[in-house]
Structure 1
């Protein structure tokens, strides 16, 4: 790695096609408390939490392979003390001597933490002012105003961070992170009340052909319009999210297997009959799964994925429930 990159004001690592770290700069090592020999040659998953490993496999890897870049990816890495450190990551995939390499840039999300520390400091000052009210009343008033201002800033920052972390940048609909939280919430409700729910895994048929024929800008336009169509066509209580690439998911609360497959087939027809802004025709394949007592977060997603695979193998532009795959 070039000397100026070694000392860059952001963390930099390079990953080979096997996911192993080949280069790392001093800023990253300083932030995380590692020596270079403790990082080089290690698989990137060594430094990821269990949840982040899933996000990397299900969103980061498919996106970087399809588009060559990933922007504003929220990720937590583990430092040498075993602590989780939040970052925003941008990545780019390129070929070096015929071998794919991924360069990753990390920016620490410290601003929010700094604001919270400053607020705590102001609160301590307020407590001290209370003890000597008569002598410091004017200062106390000033501190109150400052606390209110900082609280407003933190609330606004929290709203922005929450929206950023839960919204897909391209389509402006909920992203995988939001979907994961919704899935956990419905699983917990099922555990407490036995409230059934189903999933629709929606994948665009021959999307690579759309990109190859019309270009990625048209492909992005198709993704945006499909997100709008799905959102408009489902019920108000349903939740549509983009998993990544051309794959979307719909959570159907209080929906059994029969109702879910009926809804999926209706969406097949809606998409097929939609007038698309940039292409003549589009279809989707849909895999359907319904949560049961024996399911986990992994199995319900795997069931929908297997059903989707069967729908693709059955000629596309159709919907198949996992029960039909068994």
Structure 2
């Protein structure tokens, strides 16, 4: 890191798109009481309380994804002693050697908060004086109504931004981040409920051939149409998401192995029987059912291994991990 940036009068943190800390300057380490090894390769949200994580998800990620930058995000970060330190964060996204990086500048807000508290106190005194006069009171009522209106607009906008941050722009399905969060929730709940659930990985067969033959726009049309099929034929509690490229995932709550195989076969048949502008389009499916010994990683690995077998044994077929040889 450049020595001037390392000793800059403000904090500097560089993170990946997934939130992992890549680099941090000495100024921020000194203010927060950390060593570099405490933060590098850790998730930036490890320094946040639950409330600040919600702020980060509802404001930072949506604005970075939509605009490529965030300006003046007020957020608290925990120092090495666990104390929340207020910061004003500015961030900007850019590509560095083909890797998406987000650089963040952090200005500590201690003095500004004191000034704001003084301003709030002065405002309260002013409002009390205005309330003594009927005309001023009426004006304040109007201001309060305007604030409520703006707050309602902000809540609506935040809800939209949160929806955008969890939705795949091309297909309209949920994105990989949302899928991983829901998978974690189901795994956490499994220890309490012991309700079975399963996972499907659906992969379009010969998708590269479709792109090479008909062009990427037609390929996108195929992805959108497959997404609409998954939406239309998923149950109310199922969670369908685009995992990446031509791969889609579906979480099937309250579904054991045999039932997940039946559902997967039903979807495979519908896809194969659908009329496509490119001719016949098929998909291979890998399925796995969660067990007490599983984690998110092992469940995905089992479903991916089953998908590989579906591909290697002719495509356009369903394989469940429980049908594979152990080991």
Q: Answer whether TM exceeds 0.5 for this pair.
A: yes
Q: Which moved more, 1:220-229 or 1:172-181?
A: 172-181
> What is the RMSD computed on CA atoms of the aligned residues?
4.5
Q: TM-score by structure 1 length?
A: 0.65
Task: Name the residue aligned to 1:203.
Answer: 203
Aligned pairs (5 A) from 1:1-326: 46=40, 49=43, 72=66, 89=93, 91=95, 101-102=97-98, 104=100, 127-128=124-125, 131-132=128-129, 133-135=131-133, 137-277=137-277, 279-325=278-324, 326=326
- Alpha-carbon offset, residue 191 of structure 1: 2.4
Q: 1:89, 1:104 within 8 Å by CA — same for their partners in 2?
A: yes
- Alpha-carbon offset, residue 314 of structure 1: 1.9
Greater Rg, structure 1 or structure 2? 2
Q: 1:207, 1:246 within 8 Å by CA — same for their partners in 2?
A: yes
SS of 2:309's equivalent? helix
Unmatched runs of 5 consecutive residues or more in structure 2: 1-11, 17-21, 30-38, 47-64, 71-76, 107-112
In 1, the alpha carbon distance for the partners of 2:69 and 2:315 equals 34
Q: Deviations over 1:27-64 (max 9, x none)?
A: x99xx979xxxxxxxxxx95662899xxxxxxxxxxxx
Q: Deviations over 1:98-147 (max 9, x none)?
A: xxx4164759799xxxxxx9xx9898777556644324523531431232
- Alpha-carbon offset, residue 192 of structure 1: 2.2
Say if 1:244 and 1:91 are closer, same or farther in 2 by CA, change over 3 A. farther
Q: Which moved more, 1:302-311 or 1:283-292?
A: 302-311
Unmatched runs of 5 consecutive residues or more in structure 1: 1-10, 16-20, 35-44, 53-70, 93-100, 111-116
In 2, the alpha carbon distance for the partners of 1:169 and 1:209 equals 23
In 2, the alpha carbon distance for the partners of 1:109 and 1:238 equals 40
In 1, the alpha carbon distance for the partners of 2:180 and 2:98 equals 26
Say if 1:46 and 1:206 are closer, same or farther in 2 by CA, change over 3 A. farther
Say if 1:87 and 1:230 are closer, same or farther in 2 by CA, change over 3 A. farther
Q: Deviations over 1:282-301 (max 9, x none)?
A: 11111111112222222222
SS of 2:98's equivalent? strand
In 2, the alpha carbon distance for the partners of 1:125 and 1:141 equals 18
Task: Name the residue aligned to 1:113.
Answer: none
